A = this chain, B = another copy of it.
Amino acid sequence: METKLPKLVRISIVGLGNVGRGVAEVIRRKQEEITRKYGIDLKIVGVADLPGAVVDENGLSEDAITKFKSGETAEDMTTLDMIKDVEHEIVVETTPTNVENGGPGLTHIITALESDRHVVTSNKGPLALQYGKLMDLATSRGKELKFEASVGGAMPIISLIKDNLAGNGIISIKGILNGTCNYILTRMREEKLPYEHVLKEAQERGIAETDPSNDVAGRDTAVKLVILANSIFDRNVSYKDVEVAGITEITLEALKLADDAGYVIKLIGEVDGGGSSGECLKVAPRLVPKDDPLNVEGTLNVATIKTDLAGDITVIGKGAGPIEAASAVLSDIIGIYM
Contacts and interface: CB of A to CB of B under 8 A. Distances in A.
A107 B4 CA distance: 32
A309 B297 contact: no
Given A156-B160, A163-B338, A309 B296 contact: no
Given A163-B331, A309-B154, A310-B327, A139 B1 contact: yes
A326 B139 CA distance: 31
Interface string A233-270: 00000000000000000000000000000000000000
Q: Is the interface of A mostly helix, strand, loop or mixed?
A: mixed
Nearest to A139: B1
Contacts of A132: none
A317 B312 CA distance: 6
B139 A309 contact: no
Contacts of A165: 156, 327, 331
Nearest to A304: B316
A313 B317 contact: yes
Nearest to A164: B156
Contacts of A321: 311
Interface in A302-336: 307, 309-318, 321, 323-324, 326-328, 330-331, 333-335
Interface stretch (A6-14, A44-52, A166-174): A166-174
Nearest to A316: B314
Nearest to A321: B311
A311 B310 CA distance: 25
Nearest to A328: B310
B166 A331 contact: yes
A164 B163 contact: yes
Interface stretch (A26-34, A80-88, A191-199, A276-284): A26-34
A159 B164 contact: yes
Contacts of A291: 297
A194 to B, nearest CB: 22
A300 B312 CA distance: 10
Given A1-B139, A291-B297, A33 B169 contact: yes
Interface in A116-175: 139, 148, 154-156, 159-160, 163-169
A159 B159 CA distance: 10
A307 B156 CA distance: 13
Interface of A: 1, 26, 30, 33-34, 38, 139, 148, 154-156, 159-160, 163-169, 291, 293, 296-297, 300, 307, 309-318, 321, 323-324, 326-328, 330-331, 333-335, 338
15 contacts: A34-B167, A38-B166, A160-B164, A163-B164, A164-B164, A167-B330, A167-B333, A293-B300, A307-B327, A309-B324, A309-B330, A310-B318, A310-B327, A313-B315, A313-B316
Given A1-B139, A316-B316, 19 more contacts: A26-B309, A33-B169, A34-B167, A154-B313, A155-B313, A156-B313, A159-B163, A160-B164, A163-B331, A164-B164, A167-B334, A168-B330, A309-B324, A310-B318, A310-B328, A311-B317, A314-B316, A314-B317, A315-B315
